[in-house]
Every structure is written in C-alpha cells, then in structure tokens.
Amino acid sequence: MIQFRYLRLARGAKILVDAASLQIHPGWRVGLTGANGTGKSSLFALLRGELHQDQGDLEIPAGWRIAHVAQETPALAKPAIEYVLDGDVELRTIEAQLAAAEAAHDDAHESAHREAHIGAHIGNLHARLHEIGGYAARARAAALLDGLGFLPGEADRPVSDFSGGWRMRLNLAQALMCRSDLLLLDEPTNHLDLDAVLWLEQWLRDYRGTLVLISHDREFLDACVTHIAHIESQRLTLYSGGYSDFERQRAERLAQQQSLFDKQQREIAHIEDYIRRFRAKATKARQAQSRIKALERMERIAAAHIDTPFSFSFRDGPPAPDPLLQVEDGVVRYGEHTVLERLRLTLRPGERVGLLGRNGAGKSTLIKLLAGQLPLAAGSRSEGKGLAIGYFAQHQLETLRPDESPLQHLTRLDPRTREQELRDYLGGFDFRGDGVGGTSTPATTPCGSFSGGEKSRLALALMIWQRPNLMLLDEPTNHLDLEMRHALTLALQDYEGGMVLVSHDRALLRATCDRFLLVDDGRIQPFDGDLDDYRDWLAERRAQASAAAKCPDRSADKAARKADREQSAAERQARLAARRPLVKELEQLEKKLANWHGEKKLLDARLADPALYTGAEAGQLQTLLKRQAELAGWVDDAELRWLEISEQLEAMQAD
C-alpha cells in the first residue's frame, strides 16, 4: 500500500500539505481534488519521486511500476503505434534482448555449449514474452488508439504529423500501455471528446492497479474512483466513495464543524465576560486568572468556510432577432472531402442546443460554420438583424496578447468604461487586485505566464463582456477547475440568449441543454434521448464496427459472392497446405523432445550419484558429461524451433 505518515510538503516557503497521514490500498482508485494551487500536481511529483517531502514519511512498495502521462511529446518520425508500445518498458527490453540474442545466435562461431546457452536464453525470453502478453501487445496498442479516437489508418502515421492535442492523446495511450502497479493521471480528459471520455471511464473501471486521478469532471470522477483525497487548508483528507459522496460527507463535516465553532464562541464569550467583570475584584482575581490561562490554552476551532472565488453572470445583450441564425442545404468541404452536407438548422432565441457525435464527425466544424469561420461550399447561411455571436474555442486562447494583463485586454474591448467597473467584473473570474496576498491571479499581471485554466477564464470573461445573444461554445471547460465549472454552469442556466454547446463535461451538458443534435455520417439530426441514451448509442456503434471488422458486409451480386466463396476456399486450402509440413515437423520435434528429455533425466540422475566419481565407472565420466551437453544443446535447439513453428501456426490461425 501507499502510506503517508505525518507528511509535510512545501514549495519554497509555502506549505502545501501538512501532517498528512493516510493509506491508499492496492486496487483503490483515488480522485485527488482541491482548488488550483493547493498542491495536487506537487503531490503527483512526490509520488513519482521528483520531489521529496519536507517532513514525515512516504512509503510506496518497492518494485512498483509507476505510469504517468508525459507533458511533452517530441516531434518524432516514429509511427504512432510504436510510440504507444514504448509505454511497456519490459516489452521493449525483451524485444531488444531477443534481437541481440538472435543476431548472436545467427553469427555464432563458438562452441556448441555457447550456442546452446544462447538458444536457452532465447527460449527464456520467448517464454517471458508470452507471460506478459507480448504477442498481443500490438493489438492492445491498436485498441488504445481506437478508444482514444484515432482512425485506423493513423496508427502508422509519424508522431510529428499530429497536433498538440492529439499528441497528448498519444501520451495518454502510452501511459495506459504500461502494465503499471500505480497509474497517475492529471486531467486526462482535457484533450478528449465525449466518446473518448466514456471509453476511458470503462478502461479505468477495468484497471487492476492503483489509480490516483486529478480531474475537474465530477461525473468522470463519480464513474472512476472509489475514494476522494481532498486538499484544503494544508490538510489532506481521505473520503470513501465518488465525488458526489465526497461533497455530501464534506458538507456534513463542515456543518458539524460550524456547530462546534458556534458552541466554542459562546463558551469564549462567557469566559471573557467573567474575566471583564471579576478581574479587578480581589476575591475573584484568582478565578479570573485561571480562566485567562484556560482561554489561552484552548484549541480554537476554525469557522467552517466554503467559498468560491468565482461569481459572474451574463450582462443583458442586445434585442435578439428571431430566428437568430439559419442554414439551408449547407455543404462544408475541406478540399475535395465533404465533411457535412444537407445541413438545415434554425436557431431561435433562448434555445440551448448540445451537439453530440463521435470523434471526427464534424461537431467543431459545424460550430465554426455557425460562427462564420468557415465558408459554405453550397447552400446558404443567414444571420438575423442584430445578431451578436460569442464564440469560444480552444484557439481563442492563442489570440490573447501575452504581454498584456486581463485589465488591459478588457480596457481594449471597452475603453469608455471606468477602470473600477472593469476590475469588479474581472474579480468575478478571480482576477483581483494587484497581487498583494491571497491566491487569486492579479488583474494587472501579463497573461503570457498564465496557466491553461487562467487563460480559459480570461477568454470567457472577454467573450461574456461583449454581451452576445448567441453563444457558440466548443469545449469551454478544458483546464477549468470544479469551482469555475460550477460558476459557468450557474451563469449559463440564467443566460437568456441562444446557445450551441460542444463539451465532454456531462454535468454541464445535463444542466444547460434543452435538446441535443447528433452529428453523424455528415448530417445533423435531432437526438431523441439523454446522455445515458447517447452512451448506449455509442456502445452500439462500437459493437457494430467491431462486428463489421470481423464479418464485413458483402452486398455484391450473386456472382461476386460466389467468387468470394471460391477465393476463401482456395485461401483455406492454401493455408492448410502451408500448415501441413509445419504440423508434421512439430509432431516430429515433440517425439524427439520426449526421447531426449527422458534420456537426459536418466543421465542427470546418474551424474548426481556420488558413486560414479569414485567407483569403477569413473572413467566414463567424460563421455557421460559430453553426452549430457549434447542432449542439452539438442533440446534447446528443438525447443526454439518448436516455439518458432508454434508462432507461425498461431499467425496462420489468426489470419
């Protein structure tokens, strides 16, 4: 198990966690939560051995393999699937040792004993490869890529071909490929869409090792974890259950704490009143001094405090036209490739639409079209008079000026508004003051050094300030913590304009969308159901795709089907013809191995008899030892050949 004993972790002069004592048992799946800056990532670095505690002990079982997601991906020419396979370090080590041993065996010009030793080593490596599932490793890596949204043809593309977000998916696949005892995942859903999130949930539920997970997605946490470790006020507290259970338990604990605080405050007030009344009286002075000392010794209970730094709402926008936006018979192409066609969509004031669809179906493309960022190849797109679009996408973060502060960005948008009003508004997004004390981000700090979450908050603040009457949101919660997501959800619930939302955050989708549209096969259509129905739809589509891969649909005419059957029969006969000599050789090897093993067993027993070395038969010792080495070499060579033939037959069977 992982054991914390009175552990203190600090960064510089700032104490992040103090006096932490808890146990994480093998197989537990723990969600690590807490406000930004409380030390979650530092705790991960501690578990990885990159940081050391300032006080106390941390015990992790020796020999545990620890996997985590790399934050950087070099622009490698290596194929994506090979990059993922690198996650299984032992597999790669065995493959390298096998290649070296086989090369040495092929080039060997040494003694039979040396050659037999190399053969035995090769046999042992193959046996270990079988034990760790090495022969199925490539299929396992391909399944990870498929689950995370990569298309079948992309497995052999170089890593350098992929964008930053897709490289992060490759890093995640590499971490999942590792046969780890401890898996550390820091915001793994940030670069995923909803279908990949649902797939990852299932994968993590089936994971046999110990998981520690940082996530700001409450439904994802509820689905994946068995415990919550929460950092608050430098304390690390372990709760049983998912995130919803944690919220309930924490609320109960805080209510109890507040009750104890109120009781103690009444007791303190009573003692202080006694001291004031009787301190000056000689007859009561001793009792008053006793109460003063009792007051000094009293361990003060802190007031229960739950507060969010985020508080904002949408300002009233201009009068909204009806309809807001219309697309008729729209077609969107990238080059010669048609992404969307026959698009018909009317957006009206107050509508809240969520877009669903598998990865690559065209959800972001549709959002860009609605925002006017993409032209139509055919059809029409018309805006109502007075339409004011607020568009949020991940590339919005790149439009921020790194040398300007949040206050400067907002002043550029609205130079006529008083600075104090702009500061008050930014304070609702936790951009406060000038950085003196507190944990909020200063409103006057250049945003070039901001984290992803801080940049997302600023981009949202700038968009909302412009008072849109139609909001187009493409994954707005990436990098946002739980408190900010909650504040955004409340604000969107009160927003009176139209909205189209793409998000992998199901809590946000459930709370803010009135209806869903499904983007699939280049079309959009109403989705009659909720997110649970969509999860079932995705599972059905995956099952259909799997079945189609195993048994492809043949809708050709009768002659074509007959040709297929004849071709299949010919291929089957060819495989049988190729298998026969291998099967025959395998049977002969098994007979020889049985005879050699039997003879070697008798020989080993004879050589183990001490009488052989002192009696009349001592002269036969060299002959017997030579025969033993000869049998060992034959056995090693035969077993190696047996493994090679078995692999060939297994491959033929798979084909």
pLDDT in tens, 402-413: 999 999 999 999
The pLDDT of residue 618 is 63
> Is the pLDDT reported for residue 12 higher than 80?
yes
Inter-helix orientation angle 531-550/194-206, to 10°? 80
Tell me, what's the pLDDT at 556? 40
Residue 587 has pLDDT above 60, yes or no: yes
Residue 1 has pLDDT above 70, yes or no: yes
118 pLDDT more than 80? no
Q: Report pLDDT for 450.
A: 84
pLDDT per position as a tens digit, 549-558: 666 544 445 5
Q: How far is CA 355 from CA 492, 501, 542, 647, in A?
A: 16, 6, 19, 47
Q: Which residue has the higher pLDDT, 273 or 378?
A: 378
> What pLDDT sits at residue 655?
57
Question: Which phi and psi (to 5°) does residue 146 adopt?
Answer: -65, -45
* Rg over CA atoms, the chain: 34
Lowest-confidence segment of 19-23, 250-254, 321-325, 471-475 by average pLDDT: 250-254
Q: How does residue 573 score in pLDDT terms, banded at 50, 70 and 90?
A: low
**Could you give the CA distance from residue 126 to residue 122 in angstroms, rounded to a whole number?**
6
d(Cα 304, Cα 256) in Å, to the nearest integer?
A: 9
What contacts 192, CB < 8 A, 6 or more positions away?
148, 149, 169, 200, 504
Strand partners, 212: 30, 184
Specify the range with the lowest mean pLDDT, choosing from 40-44, 170-174, 642-646: 642-646
| Pair 471, 460: CB distance under 8 Å | no
622-636 average pLDDT score:
82
Q: Compare 117 and 313 and report the one with higher pLDDT.
A: 313
Cα 408 from Cα 458, distance rounded (Å):
11
The Cα–Cα gap between 561 and 557 comes to: 6
Q: What does the pLDDT average to over 452-458?
A: 87
For residue 653, the model assigns a pLDDT of 62
List CB contacts of 459: < 8 A, sequence separation 6 or more: 392, 396, 397, 399, 400
Query: Cis peptide before 323, with omega less than 30 degrees from 0?
Result: yes
Report the percent of the chain where pLDDT is more than 90: 39
Share the mean pLDDT of the chain. 84
**Residue 285 pLDDT greater than 70, yes or no:** no
Residue 539 confidence (pLDDT): 85
Write down the pLDDT at residue 54.
92
| Higher local confidence (pLDDT), 214 or 556 | 214
pLDDT, one tens digit per residue, over 136-167 is 999 999 999 999 989 888 999 999 998 888 89
Q: Is the pLDDT of residue 355 over 90?
A: yes
**Distance between CA atoms of 347 and 513, rounded to whole angstroms?**
13
Residue 581 in this model has a pLDDT that exceeds 60:
yes
Residue 565: per-residue pLDDT? 57
Closest CA to 53 of 6, 15, 7: 7
What is the model's pLDDT at position 473?
Answer: 94
Would the pLDDT of 439 be above 60? no
Whether residue 220 is predicted with pLDDT greater than 70 in this model: the reply is yes
Please report which confidence band the pLDDT of residue 110 belongs to, taking 50, 70 and 90 as the band edges. low
Confidence of residue 467 (pLDDT cuts 50, 70, 90): very high
Percentage of the chain exceeding pLDDT 70:
87
Cβ 26 vs Cβ 226: under 8 Å: no
Neighbours of 298 (CB within 10 A): 12
Given a cut of 80, is residue 651 above it in pLDDT?
no
Q: How confident is the model at residue 433 (pLDDT cuts 50, 70, 90)?
A: low
Instruction: Report CA-CA distances (Å) from 287 to 265, 272, 274.
Output: 20, 12, 9
412: Cβ contacts below 8 Å, ≥ 6 apart: 404
503-555 pLDDT tens trace: 999 999 999 999 999 999 899 999 988 898 998 888 888 777 766 666 654 44
Of the two residues 198 and 296, the one the predictor is more confident about is 198
**Cβ count near 53 (within 10 Å):** 18
pLDDT tops 70 at residue 207: yes
pLDDT for res 300? 65
pLDDT of residue 554: 44
Confidence at residue 436, expressed as pLDDT on a 0 to 100 scale: 38
Confidence grade of residue 379 (pLDDT, cut at 50, 70, 90): very high
